[in-house]
Structure 1
Amino acid sequence: MKLAHLILTHNHPDHLKRLIQRLTYGDDVIFIHVDKKVDITTFHNLISNKNVFFIKNRTSIDWGAFNIVKATLKSFQEILHSGTEYQYINLLSGSDYPLQMPVTIHQFLTDHPGKAFMNYRFIYDDWQEAIPRINEYHLNNYQFPGRYKVQKIMNRLLPTRTMPYGLVPVGRSQWFTIPTECVKYILEYWATHPALRRFTRLTWAPDEFIFQTILYNSEYRHILINNDLRLIDWSEGKASPKTFTLKDKDQLLSSDKLFARKFDSKNCPEILDCLDKKLISVPQVSPV
């Protein structure tokens, strides 16, 4: 089995270098999308690994905006046109880190063939805080003076928005591990449903629900596993998850999740050192 990791990043090349070292395994390939606003030359020392590639068609990314969906889709396209067939595509952020050895990750996916691992909560039922993302107009993808004032006027005067094509909206975490056939379907659906493209541009943080929604409303619903395989701690109640430190060592080391987010290797490299001791303590068997 060949696994393609897609990492979306914008900073901390040193952490990214450690992440690549822990992910490197057999014929697996790592694709890196660096935010277009960032000088990519600071990441060029990572290219010495023959299985690491930079996404060429980069996108400028803003937090909560549509353009992160655009960046992900464009990266998917480059992976599919790379000339190699991968069984799974694993979407990570540049602040993630594996909790298991690559051989364990491979074995898990081999034991669950064809399953798609992503969080999906029903927005109108058990993720109601996300309803305004869909029902209201959001201009966070556009940069012009007074945009929030215009947004407020739009929401006061225009009808409540609804998902096009009668789609049932589901989602939660944007990070997932899914078969390549699901990625192909997402790209095909996106290309052939212009109303969804127009709708998504005016939503907030669509990266957290658009991919799950497309797959849930398709023939692939039966392969979806409501588990993104990531340890993410939202206990602080903030817009972003908790950053793991040494205080979380026992939780991280005992977790059966495959990955965790998020980490700050600049301010707390010690927690990564602890994880590395686990990840390199047992020799890995190369894939056949």
Structure 2
Amino acid sequence: MYVRYINHPFESSMRIAHLILAHNNPQQLEVLVRRLIYADDMVFIHLDKKTDAAPFEHIGNLPNVFFIKERAKVGWGAYSIVEATLNGFREILASPFNIDVVNLLSGCDYPLQNPATVHNFLQANPGKIFMEFELMRTNWQEALSRVERYHLTNYNFKGRYLLQSIMNRLLPKRRMPNRMTPVGRSQWFTAPAECIKYMVDYIDQNKAFKRFIEHTWAPDEFVFQTILYNSKYREQMVNDNLRCIDWSERNPSPKTYTIADKSVLLCSDKLFARKFDLTNHADVIQAIDARLDDNNEGNSAVISA
């Protein structure tokens, strides 16, 4: 059973816009969205353009839930995931709602705290930007090749990797535009809407930067951090993205949580975690639900199967 709380005793002057990047599993996406719906918060969903939207359409009938109209075809490691994120940011900024904070999630994330706790935490930390950032030239050197070499991952033509190899053999190492210091790590973050607008405007107004990023690998993990780190917002950056993510298996993607991870997740002080698989490991999500429901005792609720 999954619970959507409605009449909350807690009132918040803050409005959060959750932007979810999704591409599959409509049932799991709906469970996540129902957990995020709270007070005046908004949920915006970017659905990969390669995905049939029909099985997801009913989710848009939930209160304060919107699908991003300008969908991008997302490729792993390609600039297209940055494009999808920017499309979401632009529609959030253009919406008539007064958004204070934007929270970037994937469709396989899940909250570890109830919405009131999330609001309390963010209200206690006004103006702070929660994202992981490591200096590529010192602490994240394995990522340097992403920016120093040409990558044609965002393109789809025969022989692109041969051309990429030739380019990197003949051309000098690439350098970040405007002598920017590259930083990054995880793509998921929580930031004030003011900073979201700054990042969107920076990319729109700096065409050379955009062209540079289009020819890097997995820019979603460093482009937004790099923009803010090289701006007046650096002092507001906190090197913590508020997510519980397990990379212990040393795979290209993080570990999928199972019921064996229950104690770790329930004891975590992080706000969100990733990643989860409702189809094969629903029990760990149900364990989190039980804890969240206990913490919301006394609220009115709508129960959904």
TM-score norm. by structure 2 comes to 0.92
Query: What secondary structure sits across from 1:277 in the alignment?
Result: helix
CA distance in structure 1 between the partners assigned to 2:64 and 2:245 by the alignment: 28
CA distance in structure 2 between the partners assigned to 1:211 and 1:47 by the alignment: 28
Asked if 1:238 is matched to 2:251, the reply is yes
Asked if 1:253 is matched to 2:266, the reply is yes
Question: Per the alignment, do residues 16 and 175 of structure 1 end up closer, same or farther by CA in structure 2, a change over 3 Å counting?
Answer: same
Shift of 1:47: 1.5
Map of 2:70 onto structure 1:
57
CA distance in structure 2 between the partners assigned to 1:279 and 1:234 by the alignment: 25
> Which stretch has the larger CA shift, 28-37 or 44-53?
44-53
CA distance in structure 2 between the partners assigned to 1:198 and 1:146 by the alignment: 21
CA distance in structure 1 between the partners assigned to 2:170 and 2:222 by the alignment: 26
Shift of 1:219: 0.3
CA distance in structure 2 between the partners assigned to 1:266 and 1:125 by the alignment: 40
Shift of 1:104: 0.3
Shift of 1:250: 0.4
Map of 1:182 onto structure 2:
195
CA distance in structure 2 between the partners assigned to 1:218 and 1:284 by the alignment: 43
Map of 2:293 onto structure 1:
280
Shift of 1:283: 2.4
CA distance in structure 2 between the partners assigned to 1:60 and 1:103 by the alignment: 35
CA distance in structure 2 between the partners assigned to 1:267 and 1:239 by the alignment: 20
Shift of 1:285: 8.5
For 1:29-63, what per-residue CA distance to the aligned partner results, in whole angstroms no more than 9, with x for missing partners?
00000000101111011122121000001000000
Asked if 1:15 is matched to 2:28, the reply is yes
Query: What secondary structure sits across from 2:45 in the alignment?
Result: strand
Opposite residue 195 of structure 2, the aligned amino acid is C
Question: Per the alignment, do residues 53 and 285 of structure 1 end up closer, same or farther by CA in structure 2, a change over 3 Å counting?
Answer: farther
Map of 2:7 onto structure 1:
none
CA distance in structure 2 between the partners assigned to 1:166 and 1:282 by the alignment: 48
Shift of 1:280: 1.1
CA distance in structure 2 between the partners assigned to 1:22 and 1:172 by the alignment: 27
| Aligned-residue CA RMSD (Å) | 1.0
CA distance in structure 2 between the partners assigned to 1:206 and 1:157 by the alignment: 23
Shift of 1:284: 6.8
Asked if 1:109 is matched to 2:122, the reply is yes
User: Does the CA contact (< 8 Å) of 1:103 and 1:284 recur in 2?
Assistant: no
Opposite residue 73 of structure 2, the aligned amino acid is S
2:160 maps to which of 119, 125, 147? 147
Question: Per the alignment, do residues 277 and 195 of structure 1 end up closer, same or farther by CA in structure 2, a change over 3 Å counting?
Answer: same
Opposite residue 26 of structure 1, the aligned amino acid is A
CA distance in structure 2 between the partners assigned to 1:59 and 1:142 by the alignment: 13
Map of 1:89 onto structure 2:
102
For 1:141-168, what per-residue CA distance to the aligned partner results, in whole angstroms no more than 9, with x for missing partners?
0001111111111100111111110000
Shift of 1:67: 0.6
Identity across matched positions, percent = 54
Asked if 1:6 is matched to 2:24, the reply is no
CA distance in structure 2 between the partners assigned to 1:126 and 1:213 by the alignment: 14
Aligned residues: 286
Q: Structure 2 matches for 1:258-273, cutoff 5 A?
A: 258-273=271-286
User: Is there any run of 5+ residues in structure 2 with no aligned partner, and where?
Assistant: 1-13, 300-305
Opposite residue 164 of structure 1, the aligned amino acid is P
Query: What secondary structure sits across from 1:263 in the alignment?
Result: coil
CA distance in structure 2 between the partners assigned to 1:52 and 1:255 by the alignment: 28
For 1:207-233, what per-residue CA distance to the aligned partner results, in whole angstroms no more than 9, with x for missing partners?
000000000000000100000000001
Asked if 1:71 is matched to 2:84, the reply is yes
User: Does the CA contact (< 8 Å) of 2:130 and 2:238 recur in 1?
Assistant: yes
User: Does the CA contact (< 8 Å) of 1:103 and 1:285 recur in 2?
Assistant: no
Question: Per the alignment, do residues 266 and 36 of structure 1 end up closer, same or farther by CA in structure 2, a change over 3 Å counting?
Answer: same
Q: Structure 2 matches for 1:172-251, cutoff 5 A?
A: 172-251=185-264
Opposite residue 278 of structure 1, the aligned amino acid is R
TM-score norm. by structure 1 comes to 0.98
Map of 1:35 onto structure 2:
48
User: Does the CA contact (< 8 Å) of 1:15 and 1:95 recur in 2?
Assistant: yes
Question: Per the alignment, do residues 158 and 38 of structure 1 end up closer, same or farther by CA in structure 2, a change over 3 Å counting?
Answer: same
For 1:79-104, what per-residue CA distance to the aligned partner results, in whole angstroms no more than 9, with x for missing partners?
01111111100000000000000000
Opposite residue 229 of structure 2, the aligned amino acid is Y
